[in-house]
Chains A and B, each alone.
Chain A
Amino acid sequence: MSSARRVRDGARPPIRLLRNLSSKIAAIPMVLVGLGVFVGGTLWTVLHSFTDSRLLPRLNWVGLDQYERLWSTRRWLVSIENLAVYGIVSLVLTMCLGFFLAALLDRKIRYEDTFRTIFLYPFALSFIVTGLVWQWILNPEFGIQAIIRGLGFQNFNFDPLYNPDLVIIGLLIAGLWQGTGLIMVIMLAGLRGIDEDIWKATRVDGIPIWKTYIIVIIPMMKPVFVTALVLVTSGIVKLYDLVVAMTAGGPGIASEVPAKYVYDTLFTRQNLGQGFAASTMMLVTVAIILIPWAYMQFREKRQ
Chain B
Amino acid sequence: MTNSIEIKDLKLSFGAVTVLEDLNLEVGQGEFLVLLGSSGCGKSTLLNCIAGLLDVTDGEIHIQGQNVTWEEPSRRGIGMVFQSYALYPQMTVEGNLTFGLKNARVPKDEIAKRIARAAEVLQIEPLLKRKPGALSGGQRQRVAIGRALVRDVDVFLFDEPLSNLDAKLRADLRVEIKRLHQTLKNTMIYVTHDQVEAMTLADRIAIMRGGQIMQLAHPSEIYNRPVNKYVAGFIGSPAMNFMEGQLDGGAQRFDTGRGLEFSVQGYEFVGPPTTGPVWLGLRPEHVQSGKWAEDQPVQMEALVDMVEPMGSDTQVWAKVNGQELRFRMDGQEAVDIGDRIPIGFDPARLSLFDKSTENRL
Query: Chain A's nearest CB lies how many Å from the CB of B258?
Result: 44
A4-37, CB under 8 A of B: which get 1 and which 0? 0110101111100001000000000000000000
Is the CB of B69 closer than 8 A to any CB of chain A? yes
Is the CB of A109 closer than 8 A to any CB of chain B? no
Q: Which of B66, B70, B76 lies at the interface centre, i.e. has the most chain A CB atoms within 10 A of its CB?
A: B70
**Complex CA distance for A12 and B68, rounded to whole angstroms:** 9
A interface, over-half SS: loop
Contact across chains for A11 and B67 when beta carbons are under 8 A apart: yes
For A14, give the chain B residue with the smallest CB separation. B70
Query: Chain B's nearest CB lies how many Å from the CB of A92?
Result: 45
**Complex CA distance for A13 and B66, rounded to whole angstroms:** 15
**Complex CA distance for A109 and B315, rounded to whole angstroms:** 54
For A12, give the chain B residue with the smallest CB separation. B70
Contacts of B72 in A (CB 8 A): 1, 5-6, 10
Contacts of A12 in B (CB 8 A): 70
**Tally of B interface residues using CB under 8 Å:** 11
B interface, over-half SS: loop
Chain A interface residue bracket vs B: 10 to 19
In chain B, residues 47-91, which have Cβ atoms closer than 8 Å to a Cβ of chain A?
Answer: 55, 60, 66-72, 75-76
Query: Chain B's nearest CB lies how many Å from the CB of A172?
Result: 48
Q: Which of A5, A6, A13, A19 contacts B69 (CB 8 A)?
A: A13
**Complex CA distance for A289 and B71, rounded to whole angstroms:** 50
For B58, give the chain A residue with the smallest CB separation. A13
Contacts of B69 in A (CB 8 A): 10-11, 13
Contacts of B60 in A (CB 8 A): 11
For A19, give the chain B residue with the smallest CB separation. B55
Query: Chain B's nearest CB lies how many Å from the CB of A20?
Result: 10
**Complex CA distance for A6 and B70, rounded to whole angstroms:** 10
Contacts of B68 in A (CB 8 A): 10-11
Contacts of A1 in B (CB 8 A): 72
In chain A, residues 11-67, which have Cβ atoms closer than 8 Å to a Cβ of chain B?
Answer: 11-14, 19
Q: Which of A10, A13, A14 lies at the interface centre, i.e. has the most chain B CB atoms within 10 A of its CB?
A: A10
Query: Chain B's nearest CB lies how many Å from the CB of A212?
Result: 38
For A6, give the chain B residue with the smallest CB separation. B72
Query: Chain B's nearest CB lies how many Å from the CB of A232?
Result: 38
Binding site for B on A (CB under 8 A): 1, 5-6, 8, 10-14, 19
23 pairs, CB–CB < 8 Å, chain A vs chain B: A1-B72, A5-B72, A6-B72, A8-B70, A10-B66, A10-B67, A10-B68, A10-B69, A10-B70, A10-B71, A10-B72, A10-B75, A10-B76, A11-B60, A11-B67, A11-B68, A11-B69, A11-B70, A12-B70, A13-B69, A13-B70, A14-B70, A19-B55
Beyond the given A10-B72, A11-B70, A13-B70, please list 9 additional residue pairs across the A-B interface where CB-CB is below 8 A.
A1-B72, A8-B70, A10-B66, A10-B70, A10-B75, A10-B76, A11-B67, A11-B69, A13-B69
Closest 8 CB pairs of A and B: A10-B71, A11-B67, A10-B68, A13-B70, A10-B70, A14-B70, A11-B69, A10-B67
